[in-house]
Structure 1
Amino acid sequence: MNVTSVEHIQKKSPVKKECEDALVLNEQAGIYGVLDGATPLVCFEDEAGHNGAYLAAQIFKTKMERLKGGEGLRQAVAEANLHLKEKMERHAVQTDLGEERWSTCVSVVEIKDDHIHYVQLGDSMFLIEDEAGNFTVVTTDSVKGISERAKQKRAERREGGEEIPPESYYDIQINKLRYNRRLANVEGGYTVANGMPEVMDYLDQGVIDRKGIRSLLLISDGFFHPELTLEETYHRIREVGLETYVHELTDHLNKHSLHIDDRTAVWIKLK
């Protein structure tokens, strides 16, 4: 596999103490990725002052960067997910509550001579550019629309006779987010690495033919532009590069008083 260049960028959110995203840059094994720790809803910090989002992303980063190649990305996810579970248990995290779990989105590729293997969870995304200049989103953003699906689930539970607070309760952001986190790795919910064994049931994984692919892009959701599709985002990156795109995106978000998240990307060009 001829990788001609690997460009990457990582910018911390201005409202966060530390960047909760992580990059995977394992050039020897041809493994690259983006990890996006989910900002915690609780106040836990370890002895070094790191929160659960940072720790979850770093556990996966360490695992992926220690691979020699050939072990398989699915197995690596399973082992990192188990390590995450064990580390939460050592810190007495109440893992029966979805909002207490440490979690991270995952988008990782392994580039081989003829094929590209990928694994993905959540809304960290993997896109490809072909030799004709067409851009394609390979993975599915399972976080998109989660609040609407959560509302529908609550309606169904009420219809089934369950005592569920009224929707006005979930209009309060923290209550909505807590409920959403409890829909991790369940039918109709969203996918994320959070130590649950069900992670492996919902893992998005696949193999694509290397032939005809010009470049790959891996991004965290902080790279999403509110007025562009992901394909249009990739096209703009191709035009101006990662650094200029991030400046443009950040300026747009500032201008419209929108949230600026951690922004992380890996752009891999192939021969």
Structure 2
Amino acid sequence: MYLSTDQLSIACPSAPQPLYAVETLHEQGSGDQNEDVLLRSGALFGVFDGATSLDKYCDPDGATGGLCAASIAAATFENHSGSLPQAAEEANRLLREKQIRCGIPLDQRQRLWSTSMAVVRMHATSFEYCHTGDSMIVLLYRDGGYSLLSPELDIDSQTLELWRNSASGNQPIHSLLADQITRVRLQMNVTYGVLNGEPESMHFLCHGRESLAGISDILLFTDGLLLPKTEPGRPSDWQAFADLYRKGGLAAIRNHVRALQREDSTCRRYPRFKAHDDIAAIAVSVDHDNAWPGHMHPRSSRTPPASSTDR
């Protein structure tokens, strides 16, 4: 498993790849540790965003519940020989077992360790994908367009709107809006999905297979790379996101995000939980010219979450 330990790590393979080139970005935010995990193993790529446990759990090595969840999920995907959905189900099972061994009461749902994730496996003319939660997969096309393979979720938009409209003071968001944050956490696997050991996690899993026809880049990233917004409930400016990437790769997006955040030390102009969030991001750039000229492209197929269609 490729897991950068640097605060900022941008790496490209030294030798050219037959089908694609890869850029990665893995950076700790302003928290005590990086709860995002980055997976790079052969043709398998993934990002995992662990959510900080509301009870502030840490294991004997000091890892938070969120980091434990993200690490378990990433390791499971790396070592699993089956399909991506099967790997997600296995990761969810192992996460449940680990929490039981660590004495986490499963009926106190706000204490569960959880992680979102976005994973792809590359093939010659297509790729498999699997995601849940607010980790994103964005496709960029050779004609200049883009599309979201994963939906943009507004998990925390109401909380951040309350924060933006609250009176300025010294009380941090986690104490000022503690009850609201707990209410949102209790909606996991009710209105939005995460891997947290609950069987209901699988109802929110989205997976499928897409053709690489016309695609220039596949971007996987955790929410720390999202462009800051003054209005939390509004959609992100994905055209600006795509333009930044095309100009300077993942680093250009990261630099833009951090610059805006540095101008807002109170976290209210661009409402958010902390000055800088962790980032895990992977860009897979497809080389159509040298990979499979004239090859027939397979039909795309997607399996949305069971909450929106029958599985």
Unaligned runs of 5+ in 1: 152-169
Cα pair 2:244 2:252 within 8 Å, conserved:
no
> Pairwise CA RMSD of aligned residues?
2.1
2:34 corresponds to: 19
Gaps of 5+ in 2: 1-16, 163-173, 230-235, 268-274, 288-311
Residue 250 of structure 1: how far off its partner (Å): 0.7
| From 95, 98, 111, the counterpart of 1:100 | 111
Write the mapping of 1:83-232 to structure 2, written as runs, cut at 5 A. 83-144=94-155, 147=158, 172-186=176-190, 189-227=191-229, 229-232=237-240
**Structure 2 matches for 1:248-259, cutoff 5 A?**
248-257=256-265, 258=267, 259=275
Q: Is the 8 A contact 1:224 1:230 kept in 2?
A: no
TM-score by length of 1: 0.84
Q: What corresponds to 2:71 in structure 1? A: 58
CA distance in 1 between counterparts of 2:20 and 2:285 reads 6
Looking at structure 2, the residues matched to 190 and 66 of structure 1 have their Cα atoms a distance apart, in angstroms, of: 27
Q: CA shift at 1:244, angstroms?
A: 3.2
AA paired with 1:184? M
Q: Distance between the aligned counterparts of 2:25 and 2:63, measured in 1?
A: 21
| 1:10 equivalenced with 2:12 (yes/no) | no
Between Structure 1 and Structure 2, which shows a larger proportion of helix residues? Answer: 1
SS in 2 for 1:198: helix
User: Kindly tell me: are residues 95 and 142 of structure 1, through their superposed partners in 2, closer, same or farther at Cα, counting changes over 3 Å?
Assistant: farther
Shift of 1:145: 5.8
- Residue number in structure 1 paired with 2:8: none
Q: How many equivalent pairs are there? A: 244
Percent identity for Structure 1 against Structure 2: 27
